[in-house]
Amino acid sequence: MSENPTIALDAMGGDIGPDAVLPAAINIYKKYPDLNLVLVGQEDSLQAGLSRLGVEQDERLRIHHASEVVGMDEPASSAMRNKKDSSMRVALNLVKEGTADACVSAGNTGALMATGRFVLKMLPGIDRPAIITALPNITGHSHMLDLGANVDCTSDHLFQFAVMGSVLSSVVDNIEQPRIGLLNIGEEEIKGNERVKMAAQLLSDSKLNYVGFVEGDDIYKGGAADVIVCDGFVGNVSLKTSEGLARMIGHFLKQEFSRNLLTRIMAMISLPVIKAFKKRIDARRYNGASLLGLRGIVIKSHGGADELAFTNAIEIAIKEVHNALPQRISAMLEQLLTEE
């Protein structure tokens, strides 16, 4: 890792594109004087965007041209085949060739996953990349993976996810021995499915701090585990269920407060509380999922991320760069395999 790390930003990705990425980049530029940023995307458009924000390129904030953009609904295979000069791919190339230490993109997950894997390759000993993010809970937060990179996982995959999640949690949250929980259900007579039960055995036999099964309601309760491991299908459904439910609850709260003049007055009076509450459950503060298992740091921002959310995603990249996350994952994996 260089003394002054460089982060490549896919400046065209996401639903908002440069209008979110550029202001976020400028926030980071001001906050981290030892950091370099590369804005990857259509030069003219990015140049104009920076000008509108009253900022000029310098050696710490520069534009790297890429002529194409991967569509948010574009299949990964099409992006891989037809968009070799996409902002996403070029940003990943910068990581590959060592020009950048990490890449942040709000582009479509499937394309980012597939291209990231193709360009950067997997870490030795890791079969599949996994998506991990921090999730708030009553007592703080935990990390959960995989959130959708893999649909059919073996127990070995789940074990590898646990290793990667453990390293990330220890690095990002400064926990010496992160507690690893395996997501399961408690309804069946014989708890859980075969893959989960076999993964539990692997984890029990390892040096990881495995604390056993956790259930869906433990995710937001907190206290159960620092890292929650599951396959990508389950993780993705759980995460999206949460997004939908939070939106519904917000909708109902708003509806009740805007029912009539009286309730609107109540809303005005309670505004400070409502604002504080909204901040507490603001998903933007948790934006930024790491694509683990690659030979390089790739952060996936939510597609709808705005300036604040994208800024958060860049800060996760910075933390991982400072801690050389991929190297630490490799070292941990080697250590665990040697111990066996």
The contact set with a second copy (CB under 8 A) reads: 75-77, 109-110, 113-114, 131, 136-138, 147-152, 183, 185, 187-189, 192-194, 215-221, 230, 232-234, 236-249, 251-253, 255-257, 259, 262-263, 266-267, 269-270, 272-273, 276-277, 280-281
| Closest CB to a second copy among residues 89, 319 | 89
Residue 236 CB, shortest distance to a second copy, in Å, is: 4
Amino acid at 75: P
Using the minimum distance from each CB to a second copy, give the nearer residue, 63 or 130.
Answer: 130
Smallest distance from the beta carbon of 111 to a second copy, in angstroms? 8
Q: Decide whether 207 or 264 has the Cβ nearer to a second copy.
A: 264
Distances (CA, A) of 199 to 180, 194, 202, 213, 227: 12, 9, 5, 11, 15
Interhelix angle 109-120/87-96, nearest 10 degrees = 30
Toward a second copy, which CB reaches closer, 251 or 322? 251
Strand intervals (E) in 294-336? 297-300
How far is 86 from 13, CA to CA, in rounded Å?
10
The answer to whether residues 13 and 43 touch, using CB atoms and an 8 Å cutoff, is no
CB of 70 to a second copy, least distance (A): 13
| Maximum distance among all Cα pairs of the chain, rounded to whole angstroms | 68
Asked if 105 and 67 touch (Cβ cutoff 8 Å), the reply is: no
Which of 277, 28, 316 shows the shortest CA–CA distance to 168? 316
Please, which residue, 41 or 148, has the CB nearer to a second copy?
148
* Least distance CB 41 / a second copy (angstroms): 23
Whole-number Å distance between alpha carbons of 299 and 315 = 10
Q: Where are any strands of DSSP class E within the chain?
A: 6-10, 36-41, 61-65, 102-105, 130-137, 140-145, 180-183, 210-214, 227-229, 289-292, 297-300
Of 127 and 256, the one with the shorter C-beta distance to a second copy is 256
| Cα gap 82→75, rounded to integer Å | 11
Contact 90, 9 (CB under 8 A): no
Cβ proximity to a second copy: between 147 and 318 the closer is 147
Query: By C-beta, is 48 or 249 nearer to a second copy?
Result: 249
Least gap, CB of 311 to a second copy (angstroms) = 23
CB of 247 to a second copy, least distance (A): 7
Q: Is the peptide bond before 226 cis (omega within 30 degrees of 0)?
A: no
